[in-house]
Chain A
């Protein structure tokens, strides 16, 4: 298994600003994923971030709005840019284990006012 931490755990931000969320894993992993969970909804995949390559974004998500960095095999960041109240969600990162399972971080709860 993998232990994942995220920073910050929660934040309240003003519209028009940006927030960078950090994801740290306790072991080296190739594949990392970023998800969004809007209030009362299921998880939606934002992008896949593999070390050494550009992130792959899902339909409806663009790099200008959600830039992702993956500088090494244990760390990634997701930035939510030019925020609006519609960006209020829980943002989660996950990594893939050795048998195809995924392990999730505790999430970052973002509120945009």
Chain B
């Protein structure tokens, strides 16, 4: 399985943008980049995913490097409710891996008021 590397932890101030980086230098052409987050005492929550182009939704934006070896999840205005562990995961679109998600350790984001 292609692996991702994320910082263990990051801090942000409330109402400021947050850029969460992810390195995936061994990404293959059939890997989608997925982001999930896990709030305390909850199951993971889908955030966003993309293949090559940058993506936006109501929760966040995903910026993908041109060579696809890295990506950045952008929270435009952090709130206290955004404090969570954020996971960057590569998922094979061909279902050779059966559609499963392989979770790394993620980045624990803390948000200060």
Residues of A bordering B, CB below 8 Å = 4, 31, 33, 35, 42-45, 48, 56, 58, 92, 94, 96-97, 99-107
Contact = CB atoms under 8 A, between A and B. Distances in A.
B11 interface: no
8 contacts: A31-B98, A42-B106, A45-B100, A100-B34, A100-B49, A102-B46, A104-B43, A105-B43
Contacts of B91: 100
B49 A101 contact: yes
A101 B46 contact: yes
Given A33-B100, A42-B105, A102-B46, 17 more contacts: A33-B101, A35-B103, A42-B103, A42-B106, A48-B98, A48-B100, A97-B46, A100-B32, A100-B91, A101-B34, A101-B49, A103-B46, A104-B44, A106-B42, A106-B43, A107-B42, A107-B43
Interface residues of B, number: 22
B103 A44 contact: yes
Contacts of A44: 103
Main secondary structure of the interface of B (DSSP, over half): loop
Which of A33, A101, A105 has most chain B Cβ within 10 Å?
A101
Contacts of B103: 35, 42-45
A104 B45 contact: yes
**Closest 7 pairs between A and B when the two form their complex, measured CB to CB:** A104-B43, A43-B103, A101-B46, A42-B103, A104-B44, A92-B43, A107-B43
